[in-house]
Structure 1
Amino acid sequence: MKGAYFHALITGLLQAMNVRVAETQHVTQTHSILALVAADLGVALVPRSAQSIHFDNVIFRPLVEAHAVNAELVLAWRDDTGNPVSETALRYLTEFFSTAAHSLP
């Protein structure tokens, strides 16, 4: 899956849910994205296939509403994150996607 395609897919999904995200890093390769997560610089929505790439301390979790897009998504984060922004994003995303009450139009 090309990075630009996946970025557009995720951007469209977030816009459909009225979620606004201020990007601080923009990379297109999954390895690079996971390297940023492993460096404790944030969290990422990545294709399920990214789970086959091993990075120490990075955790993957499937998202309940991932079927709403044409790619399976998992949430990736560092298991010992001390980044308060990552912790807030994790709390919000896991809470949001753990309920079936959120649906796309």
Structure 2
Amino acid sequence: MRVTRLEEGVLYVHREDVPPFKKGGAVTRNSYFWALKSIADRAARGKDWEFERSVWIALCRMLLSFSESGYLGFRETVLEFPLGTRIPDELRACSTLLS
């Protein structure tokens, strides 16, 4: 999931990369959607999702857990930061830099 920006302790995840909820869709994908939405500070349809610093450790643990399940792809469960961005320590285990 592409990080669009990190400012004032808020992580913004690109709106096109957040998991969609699909009525009657796969249980794992819908569970992933609701789990992420439950800790997001703002998760409006059609807008970047926002995660404040207070939930970053939970966000990282959640991403790692869904990644280890094997049901979701790498790009769906890893935060991708723009090249040159300093990845916060709380998110280092679940993040990479875009090249």
Structure 1 or 2: more strand by fraction? 2
Structure 1 or 2: more helix by fraction? 1
Q: Please say whether Structure 1 and Structure 2 have the same fold, judged by a TM-score greater than 0.5.
A: no
TM-score band, normalised by the shorter chain? 0.3 to 0.5
Instruction: State the TM-score, normalized to the length of structure 2.
Output: 0.32
Instruction: State the TM-score, normalized to the length of structure 1.
Output: 0.31
